[in-house]
Amino acid sequence: MTTTRHNKVIERLAAGEHVFATFSAADPGAAVELSNTGYDGVVFEMEHKPWDINALKDSFQYLLSRRQVFEADSLAPAVTPMVRIPANGAEKAQWHAKQALDLGAFGVVWPHVSTVEEARNAVAACRYPRLPDAPLYEPAGLRGDGPHAATRYWGISNTEYYAKADVWPLAEDGEILVGLMIEDQLGIKNLPDMLDQVPGIGLILIGEGDMSQELGFPRQYEHPRVLECKRRILDICTARGIAVGHPHVTAGNVEQVLDDGYRFLMSAPVRTYPGLAKARKLTGRA
């Protein structure tokens, strides 16, 4: 096997490249379809979908293709699976992160993170404990030890997994990505302190839906107040070398999204039915 990262999303972020990702329900059928796309990663959506751990486990497996693994000569999945957990940052739901990681997730996206304390908990929940005099001690790890499903999914031994299962970029060779969603004014206000005081944050994802709700302009993503808030987040993160994600990339806005400086681009797959469309047209039912 060639020596490459297991986490293709981190590989691209570390190289300064753009990442293409999408949200998806934890569903085996959707996972099979995504396995044959050009996405770098998928965030299985479990904030606004049920926390169905069995469906998540099945989705991880169906995202893999034995032919892809064989032809790539690498254990890394072609599409990196991550999970957006249900609980807001203030709820400090470490068990959601633990269960997702124990199944083999390569990253955890935390919704509604608004304070330094919440950011520190998010990173700590994705790290194993170590003694205070150990290197890279902070944020002190809180993750429980039970990675047997994860090691099988990654295709490595427990010892190898422990060496890799730390958060990037705190650990240069870490394969776990911690993403925080900034979705309100408090989060924007505290974002500089989060990034300055909590090492191990690998991605900031703008939650423009909830942000627009708070501002009084629901889902008006191009409203000047919403754009101003998004620009503040971009400027804060760019100054610190942290990638920012845009959750609603379309063919209509992608050029502007790239110009604005986003590096984690989430676009929804669109299913088309060309045969049906043409048949309806030819039969006068278009």
pLDDT digits (tens, 9 = 90+) for 29-69: 999 999 999 999 999 999 999 999 999 999 999 999 888 88
Q: Tell whether the model's pLDDT for residue 2 goes beyond 50.
A: no
pLDDT digits (tens, 9 = 90+) for 184-243: 999 999 999 999 999 999 999 999 999 999 999 999 999 999 999 999 999 999 999 999
pLDDT at 234: 98
**Number of neighbours of residue 60 by Cβ within 10 angstroms:** 24
Question: Please, are residues 12 and 79 in contact by the beta-carbon 8 Å criterion?
Answer: no
pTM of the full structure: 0.94
Q: Tell whether the model's pLDDT for residue 156 goes beyond 50.
A: yes
Q: Tell whether the model's pLDDT for residue 106 goes beyond 50.
A: yes
Mention every residue, 6+ apart, whose C-beta is less than 8 A from residue 63.
31, 32, 34, 35, 42, 77, 79, 81
H or E stretch covering 107: strand 107-110
pLDDT digits (tens, 9 = 90+) for 66-101: 888 888 888 999 999 999 999 999 999 999 999 999
Q: What gap in Å lies between CA 230 and CA 214, rounded to an integer?
A: 14
pLDDT digits (tens, 9 = 90+) for 14-35: 999 999 999 999 999 999 999 9
Kindly state the percentage of the chain with pLDDT values over 90.
Answer: 93
Task: For the chain, give the longest Cα–Cα distance.
Answer: 75
pLDDT at 65: 87
